[in-house]
Amino acid sequence: MVFSGKPSTACHTCREKRRKCDRIQPACTQCFRQKIPCPGYRDATALRFRDETGLVAHKVQRAKRKQSPVDAVSCTSSPSQSRNGSEILDQFEWLDEAGDTGLLPLSFPLLVEPFEATAITYFMTAFITTSPFYAYLPDLYQSEPIANDAMSSAIHATAFATFALKTRDVSYMKIARTNYALALAQTNTALASPKDAILDRTLVAVLLLGLFEAIIFQGRESPESWTAHTFGALELLRLRGKQQFKSKLAQHLFIQTITNIRTSCVQRVVPVPKECLTLHDDALQFLDRKDPALRLGPIIDRAASIRNRGKNCPGPEIIYEARDLDRETVALMDSLEEELRYTIRSKEDTPPWSFLGVAYRYPSHRVAKYWNAIRMIRMLLNELIWRGITLGFDDPHAQKSSDETLCNSVCSDPLCRCTYLERLKTTAAENMAEIATAVLASYIYITWHNHA
């Protein structure tokens, strides 16, 4: 199996005529204007893999025929020199230490190619489909598939890491770590060059290194390496300056990097750095403000600030700020365009193992992930509201002054203010339950879609 780029989902007529197809159901606009029947759209998932078994076998046989007697003796003269799986992995370690790919034996690429192609294909067509990488990485990789630079090494590292998790084979993870070490060295070399440091491929390499750290991250460890790569990308955005907004790819990379930084801050309960906010504000004039990630960005910024200020014991002002931001987030959800909306599956179309019998259908993986990102922000805000009010009731002495301020901001009647706080706490709990149900209802779409 080999990765050969994202297959087109346009109808056959538009592909044949090289026209831009809008993929509208039941027939595209181009065919409608031409007054011809639209042949419909093919299933892109069925085109993700191409069987290359015969071709690989042919290459092996051809290489054997071309191999000289001296080469044959050097590669197969004794059983101790035969290359089993463990020796291949040892060869990767040796490469990492020597750093000289020119010393590879002739037969080595033939042994690596089959599972290397499979790992990259899985990564490109299955793993990153819900991530921002999917919009550009397959085409960028296909343009220079054999480039010996930081981005290519980072792709191999993340591809083997994801494939190792998928197959539960530690040998692939060993290869992934070797490629990761190589990618780090190549990235440092690129960053030392003023010319290479501002290239798109260098920034993509840094983003992929961060993805690798996220993939291998263990829950009990500190995500310091992932954070370092994320904020290292911020420094690259500064170096790239205004010229980075000249291409669509560069704009996409900017939004992806800023979003990663915001996500990191929310997770680590720290405010978004002022430098990041300033860089974002300066870039808005060059970006499409309708981009879903940009619309959600300010909400993430405020959520990070609220979580940071309320991480110990949220005061009344924090609770009300979280409540207001949650309402604004709901307003954003209600204002999303039709192409970003989901539908509820019918009872007949919902599997019996669905949570509470609820299942959603989305236009794409990216849309599903976007909705779940919004839901997680709401979950954090409502958890803060519920926790703040609960702590106030459980420890009235420690929270007496804050409770009085909070209540007086509602009304002067003690019975009324206590009722309001209880209602706000109940609403927060109901919101969290509703959000959890929505996330679980999205899981069915993602798993079924991947299986297809």
pLDDT at 23: 77
pLDDT at 59: 58
Tokens matching residue 147: 């480039």
- Closest of 346, 347, 357, 332 to residue 441, by C-alpha: 357
Q: Cis peptide before 132, with omega less than 30 degrees from 0?
A: no
Does the pLDDT of residue 100 top 80, yes or no? no
**Residue that has been written with the tokens 């909070």 in this structure:** 406
Q: What is the mean pLDDT of the chain?
A: 78
Tokens matching residue 84: 């089993």
Quote the Cα angle for 285-287-289, to 5°.
Answer: 95
Q: What is the pLDDT of residues 46-82, one digit of tens each?
A: 555 555 555 555 555 565 555 544 443 333 333 333 3
Please tell me what DSSP assigns to residue 351: -
pLDDT at 54: 53
- Cβ(170)–Cβ(192) under 8 Å? no
Share of the chain above pLDDT 70, in %: 73
Confidence label for 404 from pLDDT (cuts 50, 70 and 90): very low
Quickly list DSSP for 162-181. Answer: HHHHHHT-HHHHHHHHHHHH
Q: What is the pLDDT of residues 238-262, one digit of tens each?
A: 888 888 888 899 999 999 999 999 9
Cβ neighbors of 134 (< 8 A, separation 6 or more) are 128, 365, 366
Lowest mean pLDDT of 135-139, 271-275, 399-403, name the range: 399-403
Does the pLDDT of residue 98 top 50, yes or no? no
329-355 average pLDDT score:
90
Taking the CA atoms of the chain, what radius of gyration do you get in angstroms?
A: 27
223-237 average pLDDT score:
75
164-175 average pLDDT score:
92
Does the pLDDT of residue 198 top 80, yes or no? yes
189-197 average pLDDT score:
92
Which of the residue ranges 17-26, 333-342, 398-407 has the most confident prediction, judged by mean pLDDT? 333-342
pTM of model > 0.75: no
Lowest mean pLDDT of 113-117, 260-264, 268-272, 310-314, name the range: 113-117
Does the pLDDT of residue 402 top 70, yes or no? no
pLDDT at 76: 38
pLDDT at 203: 94
Confidence label for 204 from pLDDT (cuts 50, 70 and 90): very high
63 or 8: which leads in pLDDT: 8
> DSSP H helical segments within 135-247, as ranges?
137-143, 150-167, 170-191, 194-197, 200-216, 224-240
The sign of the CA dihedral 237, 242, 243, 248 is positive
Q: Which helix (H) or strand (E) holds 360?
A: strand 360-361
pLDDT at 64: 53
Lowest mean pLDDT of 94-98, 113-117, 158-162, 383-387, name the range: 94-98
pLDDT at 307: 94
